[in-house]
Structure 1
Amino acid sequence: MFNDTLASAASSASSASSAASGSGDPAARRKDSLGCLSSQLQHDVELDTGEFRFYRKCTRDSDTNPVVMDGSDRGVLIGVSLKAGHRRRIYSQHRWATHEFDRDSVYVRNFADDYRAELLGGFDFVLIELSRAFVSDTCHERGGSGLAHIATVAGRKDPVLGHLAQVLALTLGAQNSAQTSASPLFIEQLGVTIGTHLFDRYGAPARGPEHGSRRLSALQEARAKDMLLARSQGNVSLEDIASACNLSRSYFIRAFRETTQRTPHQWLLERRVEEARELLKRSDRSLSEIAIACGFSDQSHFTRTFSQLVGTPPGHWRRQAKR
């Protein structure tokens, strides 16, 4: 699903580029799902995971691009600028206001509101769309009765989102160029992390019952770990694990972290490295064979992860262990 979506988005961008050569062609005026002219986009990548949609949008020139979108039930959009020099005029509260975007500047808008803007100059953005279901579930989990308000933001510097956007840009680039793909587990957790930061910084909590410690029960913890390990060779779905624990995906990730002091992805990597150490110590299998047997995408990924967690490359560790 991930790669198919990206391939489709890349194909759309290529078609839009061809259409732009004929100024009278209606296809040259086609808008994408965020209201931008597709023909003006140099990079147009989309990754849909269900509760989240991730985008990379980069213009090929500095033409003014008007955006007009009616309100909808799509949720919340966060845009993070990857470079300086972009400006946009946004119509709000019966007046126009111009906002400057430096690197790591963000905008946040609710799809429920009508949106009217003029995009001035070139831009390079990573965007994260949080579905209405994710927003609703997270609001109720945090405040009992939801969030009273998520601030509308334009041009505000946010180094945390800036850092996460850089990671996301690399992830989208790797997926789109058929390099080693990031795991769906990692991508889902990235979406939850961004959503959590959104609510922490820009959400005003409604009054509601206080929540105490959010930990998995012993049964939920065992079930989650069993599912992670059982499917460690393939793409594991957080949605499936959370559903088996009768929790939403975002609540499950927070509860798993509070219970184990690790995210599901971190916990799984540590278990894979533990298994690899046993194989390194007790067998003569090659590093590439051990990498695949323990669920790593390739030997390079195995060596990098092992070195980060253990402090030494697996080949060196094996020689030391067998002395």
Structure 2
Amino acid sequence: MARPAGRADSLGCSADRLHGSQELSAGDLVFYRKQAGEAAISHVETPASGRGFLVGVSMKEGHRRRLLKGARSSLHDFDNNAIYVRDFAEDYRADLHGSFDFLLIEVPRIFVARMNDERSGREVRDMACGAGLHDPILAHLAQAVAPVLEQPQLASPLFLEQLGIAIGTRLYEHYGQAVPERQARRTGLSKGHEVLAKDMLLSQGDEPATIADIAKACRVSRSYFMQAFRESTGTTPHQWLIKQRVAQACRLLRETGLPLADIAADCGFSDQSHFGRVFARAEGMAPGKWRRHAHR
């Protein structure tokens, strides 16, 4: 098939032939979702650059691509959740066969440098590249990104930041190529830092505290804070915060006659609909029904 005509996007895809294209930044990482029908694209290519690395997670089966490198080529099949990792520092050319749906993660080199600064056990220079690989952990994290890309306005900034850190950490630890230099030692947060972190999470100012804000206040790296918070509380910061908000909502439902919209606002939910969804997942029933049961 002939190479696609028309304007190519930043990843080499012919933008006018994609039937789905989304993009969202989360800290250092950039997420994309690219979807195409059976005959939408036959060829992509990008020249070498210093952008870093690109990780693709296939969201459906049936895609095949032939990677072209000089006079050599290699053919790779992508089942659902199969992944690839490539380095932007190399020219990329590929012939695509069949429809596809990929969740893509752009990892800039500044992210790798910052992870090196935050770690005490490794210094990563590159990432192991490959195609058609299987990584159920990374695939699971990618599945969590997909609905956020569809409706980014509904995503919690704390959840999105946390998810970006989790994905970045998986990439760094599993694909990062380095020689270990010293052993990292992890512990939970000190009592004072745990109290500080919880107070900052519960604060409802104009701009809610981010993981980076809290880690800085505790004088630790973001990745260390995430691990230490989990060790101290048994849960992630986002999960802990949701639990506190639901507990506060239960108290207000039981002890006051406030309308549900007011309770949603008082407890830090974005709106009554968001409050209802989160509360129902946590308590197994809608807030109004829970209130009626509590007053029996």
CA distance in 2, matches of 1:233, 1:300: 21
Contact 1:183-1:235 within 8 A present in 2 as well: no
- Using the TM superposition, give the Cα deviation of residue 263 of structure 1 relative to its aligned residue in structure 2, in angstroms: 1.0
Contact 2:13-2:41 within 8 A present in 1 as well: no
- Using the TM superposition, give the Cα deviation of residue 272 of structure 1 relative to its aligned residue in structure 2, in angstroms: 0.6
CA distance in 1, matches of 2:108, 2:225: 17
Q: Residue in 2 aligned with 1:208? A: 181
Note closer, same or farther for the CA distance 1:137–1:189 as it changes in structure 2 (3 Å cut): same
- One-letter identity of the residue aligned with 1:104: N
Q: CA RMSD in A?
A: 2.5
Q: Residue in 2 aligned with 1:287? A: 260
Contact 2:203-2:209 within 8 A present in 1 as well: no
Contact 2:26-2:164 within 8 A present in 1 as well: no
Structure 1 gaps, min length 5 = 1-27
Q: Residue in 1 aligned with 2:212? A: 239
TM-score normalised by structure 2 residue count? 0.87
1:99 to 76, 86, 111: 76
* Offset from partner CA, 1:178-222 (integer Å, 9 cap, x none): xx6111111111112222222343335522111122432333322
Report the count of equivalent residues. 291
- Using the TM superposition, give the Cα deviation of residue 268 of structure 1 relative to its aligned residue in structure 2, in angstroms: 0.8
Q: Residue in 2 aligned with 1:133? A: 110
Contact 2:26-2:161 within 8 A present in 1 as well: yes
Q: Residue in 1 aligned with 2:224? A: 251
TM-score normalised by structure 1 residue count? 0.80
Q: Residue in 1 aligned with 2:61? A: 84
* Offset from partner CA, 1:227-279 (integer Å, 9 cap, x none): 21113776543222223333333332222222222111111101111211221
Percent sequence identity over matched residues? 47
2:233 to 260, 271, 296: 260
CA distance in 2, matches of 1:63, 1:316: 51
Q: Residue in 2 aligned with 1:271? A: 244
- Is 1:111 the counterpart of 2:84? The answer is no
Contact 1:78-1:128 within 8 A present in 2 as well: yes
- Using the TM superposition, give the Cα deviation of residue 69 of structure 1 relative to its aligned residue in structure 2, in angstroms: 2.2
1:319 to 284, 292, 295: 292
Contact 2:43-2:95 within 8 A present in 1 as well: yes
Note closer, same or farther for the CA distance 1:91–1:193 as it changes in structure 2 (3 Å cut): same
1:44 to 21, 41, 51: 21
Q: Residue in 2 aligned with 1:64? A: 42
CA distance in 1, matches of 2:258, 2:101: 46
Note closer, same or farther for the CA distance 1:250–1:279 as it changes in structure 2 (3 Å cut): same
Bigger Cα displacement from structure 2, 220-229 vs 194-203: 194-203
Note closer, same or farther for the CA distance 1:68–1:131 as it changes in structure 2 (3 Å cut): closer
Q: Residue in 2 aligned with 1:301? A: 274
- Is 1:183 the counterpart of 2:161? The answer is no
Richer in helix (by share):
1
CA distance in 2, matches of 1:322, 1:305: 21
Q: Residue in 1 aligned with 2:193? A: 220
Structure 2 gaps, min length 5 = none
CA distance in 2, matches of 1:233, 1:196: 29
Contact 1:91-1:117 within 8 A present in 2 as well: yes
CA distance in 2, matches of 1:143, 1:63: 44
CA distance in 1, matches of 2:187, 2:70: 40
